[in-house]
Every structure is written in structure tokens, then in C-alpha cells.
Chain A
Amino acid sequence: MKILYFAWVRQKIGLAEEIATPPTSVNTAGELIDWLVCLSPGHAEAFANRGTIRIAINQIFAEPEDSIVGVTEIAFFPPVTGG
């Protein structure tokens, strides 16, 4: 699965994207975050305040409880500030 990071989430992790193969026990976006925070201090810092993290699954806004089974692209980013 391809994981994308944007804005300060990207800066804290130090990566714009990575390919990850989480264990089969990881079924939702929230469980993926639980797994990602163990990968590096940067990951842990980026996800320290979960309430400020927005999620997109296959480029559609999603919630932590949404399934990521079979998903090819998931993105994590702060609330949007365009316009």
C-alpha cells in the first residue's frame, strides 16, 4: 500500500510517501496509524495529536474507523487551508 503525507505531517515524518506492508491485523485507517507511530520518532510526532489528522483513502476523505483492506493509496494530512 502506498502511504502519502502532506504539509506538516510530511515534514515531521521526513517522507512524502512510502510503501508499507502492515500486518494483516491492521484493518482500519486508525489501526494503520497505531502501527505507523511505531516506525520512527517522526511518525510518532506526526500522529501525536490524532484529532488534527485528516485521512483520505483512495483520494476520498475517510474516518479512522474506515476499512483499508485492499486499499492501494492512503493519505494523511492536516486540515486543509486552500482558497
Chain B
Amino acid sequence: MAIRLQEGPFDLGQEISIMTAARKDVGAVASFIGIAREDNPDEGAEPVIAMTLEHYPGMTERQLMAIETEARGRWPLIDCLIVHRFGRFEPGDPIVLVVTLSSHRQAAFDSCNFLMDYLKTQAPFWKREETVSGERWVNARLSDNDAAERWEGQH
């Protein structure tokens, strides 16, 4: 079980190799990678040149650990990993990685989905986008709140 904040890139294959090494009980690995996108229909038609991700050191780690603990309480996870990058990114750059390991696929899939939904609304990160006409802070999306809230009744 681990959470990591870093500026540099991550390697999904390498992370899974480390997590599954010498284990015979893993039946399912699910993963999600969030990637910086060029278009942001919420904010306007101009393509995004780059984005900067700011976070709250200390609280970010605390929140990611709390989210991970919550997932482990809900599903029988053998292991899970959250890696979130901060700094400046260009479209196509991977920003966030979630990996979940379980005996069976449903727990791996569902917990991976849950971790991303909660991370989106509970972890103190903020995105600032650069376009040709200047910079803008990304607004929070109501649909992200809805996505997180759908897990509330299921415990």
C-alpha cells in the first residue's frame, strides 16, 4: 500500500512488476492513468498548451492516505498504489496513476474507479491551464462530485 507525490514520470509496467513480484495470490490487477489533455470543453475552445498542477504539501499526502484506507476498508485489496505528479505538464503527459491488486477482478476494477472518484474531490490539487490568450484556473466540475457521491450509499 503506497501513495506517492512526485514531479517526475512513472512507469506502469515497472510499478506492477514491483507490486506483484514474488506473489501468488494476485488474481487481478486494475490500473488507471490520467493524462493531460489538449482540449477542455468546460473552459473554452482554445487548445491547452500546458498545465501546472499545484498541491498542498502535507494535506495532499494525508488525504491520499485516507482515500486509500477507505478503499481498503471497502474491498479486499492485496495492494494498491496512488502516484500523483505535480509541476508543469503538456498535453499527452501522464499525471496520475492508480493501481489496485486483488484476488478477483471486481474488487480491483471497482476500487480503482472509487480511488479516482475520491481523489478528484478530496485531494488538494489545483490545475492551471496555459492557452495562447493567457492562463486560467480550471473550475471544479459538478460531475466529479456526482461521481464521488455515487459511492456514498454503498459501504
Residues of A within 8 A of B (CB): 4, 6-8, 56, 59-61, 75, 77-83
CA distance A60 to B54 in the complex (A): 18
Q: Is B48 an interface residue (CB 8 A)?
A: no
Cβ contact within 8 Å between A75 and B56:
yes
Interface size class of B (residues with CB under 8 A): 20 to 34
CA distance A70 to B152 in the complex (A): 32
- Do the beta carbons of B58 and A81 come within 8 Å of each other? no
Beyond the given A7-B128, A80-B124, please list 8 additional residue pairs across the A-B interface where CB-CB is below 8 A: A59-B59, A80-B122, A81-B126, A82-B124, A82-B125, A83-B84, A83-B120, A83-B123
Known contacts: A6-B54, A78-B137, A82-B53. The answer to whether A56 contacts B120 by CB under 8 A is no
Residues of B within 8 A of A80 (CB): 120-126, 140
Q: Can you list 18 contacts pairing A with B, beta carbon distance less than 8 Å?
A: A6-B54, A6-B124, A7-B128, A7-B137, A59-B59, A59-B62, A60-B59, A75-B56, A77-B56, A80-B122, A80-B140, A81-B126, A81-B137, A81-B141, A82-B120, A82-B124, A82-B127, A83-B34
- In the bound assembly, the distance between CA atoms of A61 and B121 in angstroms comes to 11
User: Hey, which chain A residues are within 8 Å of B59, CB to CB?
Assistant: 56, 59-60, 75
B80 in contact (CB, < 8 A): no
Kindly identify, within residues 51 to 65 of chain B, every residue whose CB is under 8 Å from any CB belonging to chain A.
53-56, 58-59, 62
Q: In the bound complex, do residue B96 and residue A83 qualify as a contact, i.e. CB atoms below 8 Å apart?
A: yes
Whether A83 and B125, one on each chain, are in contact in the complex, defined by CB atoms closer than 8 angstroms, is: yes
